[in-house]
Chain A
Amino acid sequence: MTASTTGTPPPTSPDTSPEEPSRLTSTRAVVWQRRRAALARFWRDYRQQRAGVVGLVGLALIVVAALAAPLITDASGLDVTRAPGKRLEPPSWWPWGPGEAGEFFLGTDETGRSVALLTLWGARVSLLVGVTATLLAIGIGTLVGITAGHFGGWVSSVLMRVTDWFIVLPRLVLAIALAALLGPTIVTIVVAIGVTSWAGTARLIRAQTLAVEARPYLERARALGAGHWHQMTRHVLPNVMPLVLASTTLEVASAVLAEATLSFLGLGDPARVSWGGMLSRANASGAVTYGAWWYLLTPGLAILVVVLCFTLCGRALEAVFNPRLRGR
């Protein structure tokens, strides 16, 4: 099976040992130059992954749009009490009903708010939750993985047993249980997703840590008296980061899907506009019967596009860091 974890080290520069003689400026300059060269190399390799570039462009557009939302649109349109349109209006360019089309590009929801506006602002919540939950998951996973890989022995056994257990557990069931118990807020969703997603990363990181730890320069560092924390943060972590990056990107995709799912099941924060919440309300208000396809299609497509872009980027990153996967 393809193992992007074994074998070839990633093409980023290995860290320099701070014990070298301190001609500080020139050393630092050398380091930065090496880093810049590595970055250029990375970009050249990445550019060759066409799908990855498409994904990256898509993501950039979406993130920019989400960040710029308060600047280019009026947030008052999100207030149910000041909804500008009539309920469930079809898009302005759709002449076949049901009902009379208004002036909104993607129609309105069941309270009269513009679906396009809701989707744009929903991107902020969905992306925020996705990224935050992933950071939490990656954070825990990296910590566990490096600790297990570095210390070995019974520490590793215990940690890996716990990790294996989390991997095997059905994610959605655990997330549902947590979210149901902790109450319907954004923080709950983030915690529920983060707590259920860290295990895969932990395993990868551990394997990579083992590979890195076997390298000679780490032995040298140890011989020179580097402590555990120093080794883990200054040597292992930077070498593990590229893999973490690829894993993170794919995790965000997963987290966005998870947030949509939990919101759809009614566990999300009712005060926030998120894509999953929109779909939940569309379903509850009878949009399917009414035939309000614009209300159902738009948030779902938004989720699909974001998840797809993150997936493409993630796969491209994996390919860059593991030449064996290139050209696939």
Chain B
Amino acid sequence: MTVESSLVAGSEGSATSEPPERSGSGFGRYLLTKLGGAAISLFMVVFSAFFLFRILGGDPVDALTREIPTTPEERAALRERLGLDRPLPVQFADYLTGVLTGDLGESYQYQRPVMELILERLGPTVLLTGTALVLSASLGLWIGTKAGWRQGSRYDRLHVGVALTLWSAPTFWLGLIVVMVFGRFLGLFPINGMVSPRTPPGFWPQTLDTLHHLVLPAVTMTAVIYAQYVLVMRSSILDEMGNDYLTTARAKGLRDDLVRRRHAVPNALLPTVTLLFLHLGGVVGGAILTETVFSWPGLGLLAYEALKIPDLPLLQGTFVFFSTAVILANTAADIVYRFLDPRVRQS
């Protein structure tokens, strides 16, 4: 995913391609369009999941009876029980209803419902990605604003350089380096899991231990994705700087950073907020790699585990879940953006 192009691409389709209408009826129609679009996208996710995993993925009966000697009659019975003897469109309808009711099948290797596994792992992933996003956005905002304001200065060049360099590093590699430095050589922070089993039960020790474990994975993830926010914020500030109202504010004699804080930043904030949501697709990828390197027990690690065998129901379930989450987040972003768009607000 390219830095600015992706951002451009993201905003293109949503806010800027539709002329801002008067709030009220316009917003209502916008909402409906967006929700309708989301519904279609979700349907396409389910359809492609079915196509990919059922059709390309081979016969589930084979996979399920892999280790167990079965007679042909047993296999036929199993086939009937799983509904595999019915025509494909019916199977798809079954799968669709299953997804809508939260039944995503059962994992081969864990022998548990996929939805159960996903819900179990959701918390840790949200904790990790949430922390990384907050840190990245804050860091990106801070540095991006300063860099944009002082365009061309040493600060600007240095920070853009560092950001681009970290952005170019593979997430998992950065993680491995961090593991080697902090695990093998320094030993300051734990490099595995979320909690030590030696930690006594009870809210405070468990929380502190979790935070202790969170440091390295969060820092790794942040290091790679904060660059996006720096560059976007910087560009936004540069765009804003050419605007009239800022010149006016300066002419009025207001202090530089005041002007920055009160006027430029809030207006430049909007694209960053949008980016926060639109970036979720890429954050998912980063989460998978970071969790794998640090054995953080989240959805990313679950997806990695699904590659063993390969555990197709689990792979399919995580695919559907991730895609759905990103689509919903994007729809929310579109709606929120539209709501916050100054052109709409002012009218």
Contact = CB atoms under 8 A, between A and B. Distances in A.
Given A4-B5, A160-B13, A328-B235, A279 B173 contact: yes
Given A2-B235, A182-B56, A260-B170, A173 B16 contact: no
B327 to A, nearest CB: 5
B303 to A, nearest CB: 7
- Indicate the member of A165, A171, A177, A182 with the most B CB atoms within 10 Å: A177
B285 A1 contact: no
Contacts of A261: 170-172, 285, 289
B282 interface: yes
Contacts of A297: 177
Interface stretch (A41-49, A59-67, A250-258): A250-258
Contacts of B319: 173-174, 177
A304 B168 contact: yes
Given A168-B41, A311-B168, A200 B4 contact: no
Interface in A167-217: 167-174, 176-178, 180-182, 199-200, 203-204, 207
A303 interface: yes
A289 B176 CA distance: 11
B330 interface: yes
Interface string B39-55: 01100110000001100
B4 A318 contact: yes
B285 A161 contact: no
Interface stretch (A27-35, A70-78, A262-270): A262-270
Contact of B41 (A5, A164, A253, A266): A164
A204 B11 CA distance: 11
B8 interface: yes
Contact of B281 (A171, A265, A307): A171
A24 interface: no
B141 interface: no
A260 B319 CA distance: 21
A164 B234 CA distance: 26
B27 interface: no
B310 interface: yes
B37 interface: yes
Main secondary structure of the interface of B (DSSP, over half): helix
Contacts of A178: 52
Interface residues of A, number: 66
B323 A279 contact: no
A254 to B, nearest CB: 6
A194 B9 CA distance: 18
Contact of A204 (B5, B322, B330): B5
B295 to A, nearest CB: 13
B12 A5 contact: yes
B121 to A, nearest CB: 14
Interface stretch (B59-67, B178-186, B258-266): B178-186
B177 A296 contact: yes
B139 to A, nearest CB: 19
Given A170-B322, A288-B184, A289-B184, A180 B173 contact: no
A113 B167 CA distance: 30
A191 B288 CA distance: 21
Contacts of B164: 308, 311-312
What 7 A-B pairs come out closest when comparing CB atoms?
A172-B285, A300-B173, A250-B2, A307-B168, A170-B284, A308-B168, A170-B281
Given A168-B330, A171-B1, 15 more contacts: A2-B8, A167-B281, A168-B281, A173-B284, A177-B52, A181-B310, A200-B2, A251-B2, A254-B1, A265-B304, A266-B307, A300-B177, A303-B168, A304-B168, A305-B168
Interface of A: 1-5, 160-162, 164-165, 167-174, 176-178, 180-182, 199-200, 203-204, 207, 246-247, 250-251, 253-254, 257, 260-261, 264-267, 276, 279, 282-283, 288-289, 291, 293, 296-297, 299-300, 303-305, 307-308, 311-312, 314-315, 318, 327-328
18 contacts: A1-B236, A4-B8, A5-B8, A5-B12, A164-B41, A167-B9, A168-B330, A170-B322, A173-B323, A204-B9, A261-B172, A265-B292, A266-B307, A289-B184, A300-B177, A304-B169, A305-B168, A318-B5
